[in-house]
């Protein structure tokens, strides 16, 4: 009996959180460029370096990766 109630309460709590998140998302202004979720595979050394950079700068890893990729592509275009 208690487990059924706990499951119901948990489900309501999750649904409530989801509804609040969806409401907030509709109110946020859209970013200049839409971002897409992407999974990449990198070496353990690269991951450690990214986490150290995250700890030092406080910037998210995704921002660091995006900046490095953009700079790398711009440099390769300039070489051509």
Q: What digits encode the pLDDT tens for the residues 11-52?
A: 776 666 555 555 545 555 566 677 788 888 999 999 999 999
User: Containing H/E element for 56?
Assistant: helix 44-57
Output the pTM of the full model. Answer: 0.51
On whether the 32-80 domain is CATH 1.10.3470, my answer is no
């Amino acid at each position: 009996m208690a487990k059924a109630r706990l499951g119901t309460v948990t489900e309501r709590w999750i649904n409530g959180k989801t509804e609040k998140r969806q409401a907030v998302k509709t109110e946020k202004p859209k970013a200049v460029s839409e971002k897409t979720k992407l999974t990449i595979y990198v070496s353990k050394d690269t991951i450690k370096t990214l986490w150290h950079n995250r700890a030092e700068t406080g910037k998210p890893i995704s921002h660091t990766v995006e900046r490095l990729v953009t700079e790398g592509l711009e440099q390769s275009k300039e070489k051509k």
